[in-house]
Amino acid sequence: ATAIAAGLVGYDSARAGGVFTFGGTGTNLYAVKLGLEKACPQAMRKGLREDVVILSSDVSHYCRYNIAGWLGVGTDNLVTVPSGPDNAIDIAALAQACRDVLSQGRKIACLVATMGSTDAFGVDDLEDIVALRDHLVQEFRLPYRPHVHADAVIGWAWSVFNEYDIEANPLGFRRRTLRALAGASRRLRHLGLADSVGIDFHKTGFAPYISSLFLVRDRADLALLHRQPEEMPYLYQFGHYKPGMWTLETSRGGAGVLAALANLKLLGREGWQAALGHMVEMTQLLREHLEGHESTTVLNRDNFGTVTLFRVYPPGVDTFEIKRQEFEDPAFREQLLRHNDYVRRVHDYVHAEALAGRGVMLSLTECYRHTAHGEPIVALKSFILSPFVDEEHVEAVVRKVLEARQHIQAPG
Ligand SMILES: Cc1ncc(COP(=O)(O)O)c(C=O)c1O
């Protein structure tokens, strides 16, 4: 499974290595630990005695807090870089933050590129991040190369489209779907540039929990985590493959590995293209519907995954203008907060209906992004993760949301 996934993301599978671990969190933890060993040699043995930081965007996953805390980096040493309206890290701000850190004599343990953010499917520009890292090594004459990790636990699956012929479109996707696939692929095709990649089969790999793979481009990196055989004299009396020499976990289950392998073999590249492409198609269809109603507006139009964040408004609101006004204009603060509450009420209704067996499960995010004046934008969230979702289900989502609106409007 490791070799197949390595080839898929653009690594040389003869040189790459990997380990299945306890979730997307585990993949990030491994990455930061490797980065620490590179920046502060022998931290494993001597402990962490230097001032190090981890850099990632403000929409990177919150497991960074756990990782920084548990690895002894300290959450105060997380450098959080703003993301742009496309939910991708602001490269100029990242460059400035790195230069500030290095000028202060601090070290960079890890640059985490989020390749498919949790809420909105923002995808960082990994090519630029790697180029920045290489530049900084020269500029500051660093004796180590800051580790670049691609947190692609959601986005990795788009690698199946790296060689898809968009023009010939052999699977017959709609034009709008092709545009979305190309939009995601444009950045996700560079995963092979990262020093390590996190992959969750339990997210976009159709596998049950937990099936997470931490991949390294160069498996020699894993030697940085090596223990000594004398520490475990009762193990490894035979064979050559001994991942237990460097895994964090002692006992590890095999179910996640087998689930991943089974799906990779069952679906193959084309099967995956068909399943994922269909989910993207249904997502685009949902957006088309939502954009076709006067009361709903899609927030993450520039993100091309299978997650859609949208807002619903009461009658009389100009949904062409309101998004920009709420985002930019402090005069609309009161309206924004009122509409946040309205979105929560729509969610409450849809949720109660779903629990009663009528309709669809939507989730809610309390903060899609902050407005320019610092208020959170509440949004409804549709995350299509099943290839069995079809047009009728998409229509059911829209119907239920509009029904919620009627319900809220109804007197009493
Ligand atoms: C981008 C990203 N990274 C990491 C994680 C953590 O993954 P897990 O819940 O499998 O530990 C998530 C989970 O939602 C995620 O979306």
What is the secondary structure of 219-231 as a DSSP string? GGGGGGG---GGG
Please give the distance, rounded to the nearest whole angstrom, from the Cα atom of residue 313 to the centre of ligand 1: 30
State how many domains the chain has: 2
Mutation to probe ligand 1, out of 124, 151, 200 (largest number of atoms < 8 A from CB): 200
pLDDT tens-digit readout, 201-215: 999 999 999 999 999
Please give the distance, rounded to the nearest whole angstrom, from the Cα atom of residue 251 to the centre of ligand 1: 22
Lowest mean pLDDT among 138-142, 238-242, 334-338: 238-242
Same domain, 15 and 127: yes
Alpha-carbon gap, residue 269 to 189, rounded angstroms: 15
Name the closest-CA residue to atom 7, ligand 1: 24
For the segment 384-406, the average pLDDT, to the nearest whole number, is: 96
Judge whether residue 242 has pLDDT over 90.
no
Ligand 1 atom at minimum distance from 116 CA:
1
Same domain, 353 and 319: yes
Sole residue written with tokens 């040389």: 12
What angle, 0 to 180 degrees and rounded to 10, lies between the N-to-C axes of helices 126-139 and 91-103?
30
Same domain, 100 and 174: yes
Cis status, amide bond into 210, omega within 30 of 0? yes
Judge whether residue 53 has pLDDT over 90.
yes
For the segment 71-88, the average pLDDT, to the nearest whole number, is: 97
> Does residue 287 belong to any structural domain of this protein?
no
- Cβ(65)–Cβ(56) under 8 Å? no
Please give the distance, rounded to the nearest whole angstrom, from the Cα atom of residue 142 to the centre of ligand 1: 31
Same domain, 215 and 298: no
Same domain, 54 and 186: yes
Task: Report the chain's mean pLDDT, rounded to a whole number.
Answer: 96
For the segment 245-269, the average pLDDT, to the nearest whole number, is: 96
Predicted confidence at residue 412, as pLDDT, reads 53
Ligand 1 atom at minimum distance from 209 CA:
10
> Does residue 274 belong to any structural domain of this protein?
no
Name the closest-CA residue to atom 5, ligand 1: 24
Tokens of 205: 């790999």
107 residue type, one letter: K
Same domain, 224 and 314: no
| Count of alpha carbons within 13 angstroms of residue 366, beta-carbon side | 0
Tell me the percentage of the chain whose pLDDT exceeds 90: 94
For the segment 263-277, the average pLDDT, to the nearest whole number, is: 97
> Does residue 34 belong to any structural domain of this protein?
yes
Ligand 1 atom at minimum distance from 114 CA:
1
Please give the distance, rounded to the nearest whole angstrom, from the Cα atom of residue 220 to the centre of ligand 1: 26
- CA distance between the termini of the chain: 57
Name the closest-CA residue to atom 4, ligand 1: 24
Predicted confidence at residue 241, as pLDDT, reads 86
Same domain, 192 and 147: yes
H runs (alpha helix) in 309-410: 322-328, 333-355, 391-409
- pLDDT bin (cut points 50, 70, 90) of residue 359 is confident
Judge whether residue 158 has pLDDT over 70.
yes
- Cβ(344)–Cβ(378) under 8 Å? yes
> Does residue 305 belong to any structural domain of this protein?
yes
Alpha-carbon gap, residue 365 to 367, rounded angstroms: 5
Judge whether residue 411 has pLDDT over 70.
no
Instruction: Write out the residue range of the structural domain in which residue 171 sits.
Output: 2-240+248-269
H runs (alpha helix) in 104-226: 126-139, 175-188, 201-204
283 residue type, one letter: T
Please give the distance, rounded to the nearest whole angstrom, from the Cα atom of residue 385 to the centre of ligand 1: 14
Identify the bridge partners of residue 17 per DSSP, sorted by sequence position.
216
Mutation to probe ligand 1, out of 22, 63, 64, 248 (largest number of atoms < 8 A from CB): 63
Please give the distance, rounded to the nearest whole angstrom, from the Cα atom of residue 396 to the centre of ligand 1: 28
For the segment 57-81, the average pLDDT, to the nearest whole number, is: 98
Lowest mean pLDDT among 118-132, 218-232, 332-346: 218-232
Mutation to probe ligand 1, out of 154, 158, 191, 210 (largest number of atoms < 8 A from CB): 154
Please give the distance, rounded to the nearest whole angstrom, from the Cα atom of residue 61 to the centre of ligand 1: 6
Tell me the percentage of the chain whose pLDDT exceeds 70: 100
Task: Report the CATH number at residue 165.
Answer: 3.40.640.10
- pLDDT bin (cut points 50, 70, 90) of residue 284 is very high
Task: Report the CATH number at residue 344.
Answer: 3.90.1150.10
- pLDDT bin (cut points 50, 70, 90) of residue 409 is confident
Judge whether residue 303 has pLDDT over 60.
yes
Same domain, 208 and 303: no
Pocket-forming residues, ligand 1, beta carbon under 6 Å: 23-25, 28, 61, 63, 114, 117-118, 151, 153-154, 200, 212
Name the closest-CA residue to atom 3, ligand 1: 61
Same domain, 116 and 164: yes
Same domain, 35 and 80: yes
> Does residue 275 belong to any structural domain of this protein?
no
- pLDDT bin (cut points 50, 70, 90) of residue 289 is very high
- Cβ(196)–Cβ(147) under 8 Å? yes
How many other CB atoms sit within 10 Å of the CB of residue 218?
Answer: 14
> Does residue 280 belong to any structural domain of this protein?
no
For β-strands 379-383 and 363-365, DSSP reports them as: antiparallel
Predicted confidence at residue 274, as pLDDT, reads 98
Mutation to probe ligand 1, out of 153, 197, 213 (largest number of atoms < 8 A from CB): 153
Name the closest-CA residue to atom 8, ligand 1: 24
Same domain, 47 and 96: yes
Ligand 1 atom at minimum distance from 118 CA:
16
> Does residue 278 belong to any structural domain of this protein?
no
Please give the distance, rounded to the nearest whole angstrom, from the Cα atom of residue 99 to the centre of ligand 1: 28
> Does residue 194 belong to any structural domain of this protein?
yes
Same domain, 336 and 232: no
Q: Is 284 exposed, middle or buried (CB count within 10 Å of its CB: 0-12, 13-18, 19+)?
A: buried
Please give the distance, rounded to the nearest whole angstrom, from the Cα atom of residue 8 to the centre of ligand 1: 20
Please give the distance, rounded to the nearest whole angstrom, from the Cα atom of residue 206 to the centre of ligand 1: 15
Highest mean pLDDT among 127-141, 216-230, 398-412: 127-141
Ligand 1 atom at minimum distance from 117 CA:
1
